[in-house]
A and B are shown apart, each in its own frame.
Chain A
């Protein structure tokens, strides 16, 4: 998403002519000129942001009154309608919550498997044919830019309601994120080490096992688990478009005005996210 400073600076900069004048006035002028350059740039960017905000503010007809009334309404709504959460609805949420967990986990494993292949095809230092890598890179960019929920809507209408659509949606958005992350890691692999292992006469499996994998491992595990954390959040709402999991039940409770049930569902999602984050943190600690 973002490029490093070094990457940006690789482009040749047009350096301003340095003043050779050593006297103080010259130095001061030079400093003033540089300061002006930064200020001008900053003014431009702030101006663009300001215009964008004014434009959106005007077009969405937002008034500050909404902020106050919205905050008041939501507070009143939470206090009167959501509380206390309906504890008797817990059994209703357990099954869908587990389904969400299965969806996000299976989706994560599938996306990891596909991303691994794509990552090697994309990575520049693996020297696959540029057309192949360009195509794979475009696919990954496309999958990343389209939100998981959009995939959910498309897949639900394509393959029907149910958790299978949710799993595929989560896996598709996972390929977008992990494909990029893994290919970046592969590109950063130190090829000297690989060469050194090759020079000992190791076969392909030994080369991958002894030189590529150790460099790849920490990033691989870290990103995969991070994706699992994300998946739980995404899968929890995928149900709202009919793609299985806890979102279906939650959406139904809200549209039936059963807000205390809904509150319990939100708490269950909260608990599920905490549980998964705790587990992934523990696994990360153990494996790395």
Chain B
């Protein structure tokens, strides 16, 4: 690297750092944080933390039922998201699509769907299909499609053609080529991303109830409107426990697969 280029790089870096710092203080100023609101809100925070303890769940409402419903919504949303993503990814992958324009159309659709947050999808689906768990399932499925189609399509595009040729050379039928050549190559990427998506969906499912009655998110909003801070803390702890439990379960299953596979091939 020439000296001038180094100098230029250093200047750009310094410039970026300076702009970043200035923008930070500008943002704080714009958010009106530097004034007395900050101190006032600190007092408010201290005030409610003392009323938060001990967390209570003494209301007749069924918090655990709501948590289970959120879990079920997450499972359904993920399953349908995965199914439709696989279907769409086959059309989005350049090496499988019947025509390049279809691939572009599906990919643009996925990019648009991805850009709209899950909560907004839930709002739109509530308007379109009404209340209940259904709009949340559909919102999660659609939001998953946005992410998974992109990732599945990319992994299909990365398929190593020479392996397929090798399988074909053994005289395998089309079905055998797919089962012995394509599926093993895609499976691990598909599974790890699907599991990752499930971890995301369980978080979304916990909060999707915020916009439409139902699920544990709604219970939280309800408690916050009643200013029942002790209940809010308890519900937050239930959400935390639910997410942690699901994450531990998926991790346990993943580890078990890895262990058994290692054992079998040792």
Contacts and interface: CB of A to CB of B under 8 A. Distances in A.
Contacts of B89: none
B16 interface: yes
A153 B210 contact: yes
Given A99-B30, A233-B117, A55 B44 contact: no
Interface string A39-79: 00110010010001101110111100011011001101110
25 contacts: A3-B251, A8-B258, A13-B259, A34-B264, A53-B76, A55-B72, A60-B69, A66-B138, A70-B134, A74-B124, A74-B128, A102-B30, A103-B27, A103-B31, A145-B243, A149-B217, A150-B220, A154-B224, A164-B33, A164-B38, A167-B33, A254-B127, A266-B120, A269-B115, A273-B115
A62 B13 contact: no
A73 B236 contact: no
Given A157-B232, A266-B116, A274-B115, 18 more contacts: A5-B258, A9-B259, A16-B263, A16-B266, A34-B265, A37-B263, A41-B257, A45-B256, A53-B79, A66-B137, A74-B124, A109-B20, A147-B239, A164-B32, A164-B38, A244-B31, A270-B112, A273-B115
A11 B26 CA distance: 51
Interface string B64-107: 00001101110110011000000000000000000000000000
Given A15-B266, A53-B75, A55-B72, A167 B44 contact: no
A262 to B, nearest CB: 8
B255 interface: yes
A145 to B, nearest CB: 5
B221 interface: yes
Contacts of A244: 31
Interface of A: 1-3, 5, 8-9, 11, 13-16, 34-35, 37-38, 41-42, 45, 48, 52-53, 55-57, 59-62, 66-67, 69-70, 73-74, 76-78, 98-99, 101-103, 105-106, 109, 141-142, 145-147, 149-150, 153-160, 163-165, 167, 233, 236-237, 240-241, 244, 250-251, 254, 259, 266, 269-270, 273-274, 283, 286-287
B76 A62 contact: yes
Contacts of B262: 5, 8-9, 13
Contact of A77 (B31, B128, B220): B128
Contact of B224 (A34, A142, A153, A240): A153
A155 B127 CA distance: 28
Nearest to B199: A1
A44 to B, nearest CB: 9
Contacts of A270: 112, 115-116
Contacts of A74: 124-125, 128-129, 138
Nearest to B42: A159
B33 A56 contact: no
Contacts of B254: 2
A241 B123 CA distance: 13
Contacts of B203: 147
Contacts of B16: 283, 286-287
Contacts of B18: none
The interface size bin for chain B is 35 or more
B13 to A, nearest CB: 6
Interface string B224-246: 10010100100010011001100
A34 B260 CA distance: 9
Given A74-B124, A106-B28, A164-B32, A1 B72 contact: no
A251 B167 CA distance: 55
Contacts of B221: 153, 241
B27 A159 contact: no
A263 to B, nearest CB: 10
B133 interface: yes
A224 to B, nearest CB: 10
B251 to A, nearest CB: 7
Given A45-B253, A56-B75, A287-B13, A106 B33 contact: yes
A56 B71 contact: yes
A250 B120 contact: yes
A256 to B, nearest CB: 12
Contact of A38 (B68, B134, B260): B260
Contacts of A150: 206-207, 217, 220, 236, 239
B172 interface: no
A67 B236 contact: no
A157 B127 contact: no
A13 B263 contact: yes
A240 B119 contact: yes
B45 interface: yes
Contacts of B23: 105
Contact of B263 (A14, A145, A286): A14
Top 9 closest pairs, chain A to chain B, by CB: A56-B72, A159-B41, A102-B27, A73-B128, A34-B264, A149-B207, A106-B27, A56-B75, A237-B119
A154 B236 CA distance: 9
B24 interface: yes
